[in-house]
Structure 1
């Protein structure tokens, strides 16, 4: 579990193909340096979120400045890690401990899909508003994105400003401080960004679906009453 509060920006120093027997085929080993902040108390097998993707540390150097992770084909399909190039920066966050102060929102490190940066506009004096476009095949994920709710974008916990269903867009704002601490401002229109929606929406949907499938009973009556009130209001 993570918070979406990026601890530091590391740097990709190597991307090497994995042996097919290790990864199931077409996987990679990625080496990340400039990572001392997140390696002070690391152990082999620990989890570190890289651009919001929960990955297992398989190796680190004695100086604790560099670590390696293995990336399987399914991860490459769901995330932007397949686009990693040597020299690019990445967001890093260690998994939460029992004593961690909680500053973001509950982030699992399980990326749902990637979205595309649709536009970047300045909001004077020094903020940025970024609009993201959801693929038509991923339109379902907009159901979990609500104004003033949370999303995790490349491992950064951000508050949603607005959702535009007809155009499959949602937007967030980056204040000056955040811009200096995460990789988002280095990206341009058209770039892919990892998206993890707030898992609480999924849990609520699952509960409601279970009640609807049950077909009757007091819980179903509550759902019917709630839906009727929403419809009447609209």
Structure 2
């Protein structure tokens, strides 16, 4: 499990195709992976990946074809910047909201606007996506974007918007987003369960 509080930005050092899958090697900031273990989970752009190799501050992950197709991990190239978070431990402070690292779909940036000290980023949530997440999105509700727990600041019929403070921009790869950038989206399990249960009850009453 993860908290949605991104701990920093890593850089892709190697992308190697292995059949239908890929092997990623990521360079992390110095000492950020101290004490890391093989088989541990790390969220990369919000995707839960398993540590396959360790070399000081560089970790290697194997990514299956399904994950490559569903998320923006398949688009990463050498030099790409990625958000990361180590798995939460019992007793850790939950500063964001509980996240599983299981991506529902992706959304694309349609606008980036800076207003004073904050940056407002708008994403499409149109019906063209294979998975329609709009029923789980609410004004002022939580959403996981590239592994960051964020509050939806505004929402429309086919878009959502978040507002980012300077500290969030400093610690994440959101500063690199431009129109067309594809971002991983996760809905927390509690919201999914609540919405699905209410819909099922209403359908049974109809």
Task: Give TM-score, length-normalised by structure 2.
Answer: 0.93
- Is the helix fraction higher in 1 or 2? 1
Deviations 1:177-225 (CA, angstroms, capped at 9, x unpaired): 1111100111111110111123222111332355456x4xxxx6xxx8x
Equivalence for 2:162: 172
**Structure 1 vs Structure 2 CA RMSD:** 1.7
Q: What does residue range 31-180 of structure 1 map to in structure 2 within 5 Å?
A: 31-61=25-55, 64-124=56-116, 126-138=117-129, 140-165=132-157, 168-180=158-170
Gaps of 5+ in 1: 21-25, 225-234
- Aligned pair count reads 205
Q: Looking at both structures, which has the greater relative contact order when contacts are Cα pairs under 8 Å and sequence separation is at least 6?
A: 2
- Using the TM superposition, give the Cα deviation of residue 35 of structure 1 relative to its aligned residue in structure 2, in angstroms: 4.3
Partner secondary structure for residue 132 of structure 2: helix
Task: Give TM-score, length-normalised by structure 1.
Answer: 0.83
- Is the strand fraction higher in 1 or 2? 2
Equivalence for 1:202: 192
- Using the TM superposition, give the Cα deviation of residue 36 of structure 1 relative to its aligned residue in structure 2, in angstroms: 4.1
Equivalence for 1:7: 7
Q: Is the 8 A contact 1:145 1:198 kept in 2?
A: no
Q: Is the 8 A contact 1:150 1:158 kept in 2?
A: yes
Q: Cα gap change, 1:103/1:164 in structure 2, threshold over 3 Å: closer, same or farther?
A: same
Deviations 1:91-114 (CA, angstroms, capped at 9, x unpaired): 110111002111011111001111
Question: What is the rounded CA distance, in whole Å, between the counterparts of 1:148 and 1:205 in structure 2?
Answer: 16
Q: Is the 8 A contact 1:38 1:93 kept in 2?
A: no
